Amino acid sequence: MTENSQLRKLRKSRRDKVIILSLVVIAVSQLNLNIFVDSFKVSVGAVCLPVIVFLMDRAPVLQVSAISAAGVFLSRVALRYITAGNTAGVVADYAPEAVSFLLFGILYYIYGSIVKWKFRMPHFIAVAALIDYLPNSLELVVRYGMNAFTADKQLVIILVALVRTAIVWVILTVLDRYRLILISRSHADRYRRLMVLISDMRGEMTLMEKNTELIESTMNTAYSLYQKLQDNDLASESNEALTVAKDVHEIKKEYNLIMRGISEALKNEAGEEGASVTEIFSILKGFFSSGNDSQTGSSGNAVISWSLEDPQLYTEDAYHFLSVFRNLVSNSVEAAEGRTVNISIEEKKAGGDYAFTVTDDGPGIDAAYRDKIFAPGFSTKIDFETGVVSRGLGLSIVRDIVEDGLGGSIELAGTAEGEGASFRITVPEERLERGV
């Protein structure tokens, strides 16, 4: 898009806003009350201008007030013609009101320019009351001359200014509270997503640490092969084995740098943030209830419920806990193949440990796979058309997180095939504590 076309687009957008806002003011101005004489109308339209000025960045108040003034005048003339059948005296009756609307815009523009369009609520409300009073006072002078300053007339327009300003304050306060509610919800949603993201990253780090052992083993194997080949005077082959060992060593160094960078990023972003077990399960419930688990890509939902013997349990290993339960729930959702799966989590104290039992009402685990589900690399989730294996961390890594990260254990509980899956996770008491 060229600079000229962008400029035209911006101008059109601003023009459309001016027209829409002006039509709103004109429409709301039809709600009015006659005081003193039929032609002196106190309308709700005057409430719109300060709201627009306060909420919009550098509001086009001059344009809106000018168009609104013309629109209000013409609407009054049209209504006179429809009801009375003539337009006699419309200029004298309705022109002062139109001028008042225009004066509203000029005064708000001057005020905005003075404070550089940065408003503080108490100050804005005080100025709004003054700005509301001045145009009405001027209109009274036009209609009544010096009689406009009698006590009864001044008291009425002061009261009108206070009432309309109070309405402005109520509107702005309600909108501000609503905005704060939306921001609070947005922050809560971002917090949940951040927790889930970091738990995923922690899980991936566990997998990378396991791979580090494999890289180390591969490097040692290649170097051992080099020595054996050299002992057998196989110079060419031994050099190739040494090259492999050196390449794997370089890969190991780069791999370690990546792991260190991810670890430092996670530490800086999340620290060692703890959470209550109830909060962890609440995050899971909100995350899966909308079917947005990117790990499985499943469109199914999970209805998660839990029963805690001690609902005040708190852990510093929040991300490990979240990663473990997230993967178990993901497995249940994917196994359900699109239908809603019900998952219950039960916690009980067992000696010096806490035991969590995660049970679903899905299809369960085939008896032929039960002895293999914790084996490294094992997965039953294969797309037989593409040959792609599911990208989930797998129960092998979940077991590593439970054992190495939490110092506990995980096992498949004794549910029958076709009656859902059930896993029992045991965590030492020192990994959990009672919250305040």
pLDDT in tens, 198-215: 676 666 676 677 677 778
265, 300: one domain:
no
Quick check: 387 pLDDT over 50? no
Same domain, 266 and 282: no
pTM of the model: 0.49
* Digit-coded pLDDT (tens) for 90-116: 888 788 888 888 998 899 999 999 988
Q: State yes or no: pLDDT of 292 exceeds 60.
A: no
Residue 154 covered by a domain: no
Q: Which range of residues forms the domain containing residue 221? A: 191-270
Q: Specify if 182 maps to a domain.
A: no
Q: Assess whether 255 and 298 both reside in one domain.
A: no
Same domain, 255 and 291: no
Residue pLDDT, tens place only, 300-323: 577 888 888 887 788 888 888 888
Tell me which of 270, 286, 306 is where a domain ends. Answer: 270
> What whole-number distance in Å separates Cα of residue 262 and Cα of residue 256?
10
| Angstrom distance (rounded) from CA 46 to CA 410 | 68
321 and 406, same domain (yes or no): yes
**CATH for 381:** 3.30.565.10
Q: How many structural domains does the chain have? A: 3
Q: At what angle do helices 61-84 and 45-55 cross, to 10 degrees?
A: 160
Buried b (16+ CB within 10 A) or exposed e, 68-86: bbebbbeebeeebeeeeee
More confidently predicted of 268 and 23: 23
Residue 163 lies in a domain: no
Rounded-to-integer distance, Cα 350 and Cα 405, Å = 20
Domain end point (choices 244, 270, 296)? 270
Residue 435 pLDDT more than 90?
A: no
Rounded CA separation 100/143 (Å): 12
Res. 296: pLDDT tops 50: no
Interior CA angle at 378 toward 377 and 382, to 5°?
105
Q: Is residue 62 part of a domain?
A: yes
53 and 130 inside one domain: yes
Task: Give the per-residue pLDDT at 383.
Answer: 47
Structural domain contains residue 75: yes
232: exposed, middle or buried (Cβ count in 10 Å: 0-12, 13-18, 19+) = exposed
Same domain, 286 and 263: no
Residue with tokens 């396991």: 210
Rounded (5°) CA angle 355-358-361: 155
Residue 385 is classified by DSSP as T
Cα of first residue to Cα of last residue in the chain, in angstroms, is 58
Instruction: Calculate the alpha carbon distances from 336 to 12, 288, 302, 343, 421 in Å.
Output: 51, 13, 9, 11, 11
Q: State yes or no: pLDDT of 3 exceeds 70.
A: no
> Given the structure tokens 């709201």, which residue do they identify?
51
Residue 157 lies in a domain: no
- Highest mean pLDDT range out of 13-27, 31-45, 200-214, 269-283? 13-27
Which residue matches tokens 């008896």?
367
Q: Residue 187 contacts by C-beta under 8 Å, 6 or more apart in sequence?
A: none
More confident residue, 434 or 303: 303
What angle do helix axes 45-55 and 151-231 make, rounded to 10 degrees?
A: 30
Average pLDDT, rounded, for the chain: 78
Q: Are 364 and 420 in contact (CB under 8 A)?
A: yes
Compute the residue count for the chain.
436
Band (pLDDT 50/70/90 cuts) for residue 121 is confident
Question: Is residue 81 situated within a structural domain?
Answer: yes
The answer to whether 74 touches 65, Cβ cutoff 8 Å, is no
Residues 297 and 252 in one domain: no
Both structure tokens of 110: 């001057």
Confidence of residue 264 (pLDDT cuts 50, 70, 90): low
Largest CA distance in the chain: 121
Gyration radius of the chain over CA positions: 36
CA distance 362 to 354: 25
pLDDT class of 434 with cuts at 50, 70, 90:
low
The predicted model gives 330-341 an average pLDDT of: 80
pLDDT at residue 386, rounded to an integer: 40
Say if residues 48 and 25 touch (Cβ distance below 8 Å). yes
Q: Would 231 be classed as within a structural domain?
A: yes
Tokens of 131: 């700005």
pLDDT band at 380 (very low <50, low <70, confident <90, very high): low
- Neighbouring residues of 400: CB distance < 8 A, sequence distance ≥ 6: 206, 210
Q: What are phi and psi of 384, to 5 degrees?
A: -70, -15
Which residues lie below 8 Å from residue 41, measured CB to CB, with a gap of 6+?
A: 32, 33, 34, 76, 97
Please indicate, yes or no, whether residues 393 and 362 belong to a single structural domain of this protein. Answer: yes
Say if residue 263 is in the same domain as residue 293: no
| pLDDT tens, position by position, 173-200 | 888 777 666 555 655 666 666 666 667 6
Last residue of a domain, one of 224, 246, 270: 270
Same domain, 103 and 225: no
- Token reading at 338: 């699109």
- Cβ neighbors of 397 (< 8 A, separation 6 or more) are 203, 206, 207, 210, 327
Instruction: Give CA–CA dist 432/318, Å, rounded.
Output: 10
DSSP string, 27-92: HHTTSEEEESEEEEEEETHHHHHHHHHHHSTT--HHHHHHHHHHHHHHHHHHHHHHHHS--TTHHH
Q: Each residue of 365-374: pLDDT tens digit?
A: 877 777 778 8
Query: Same domain for 56 and 95?
Result: yes
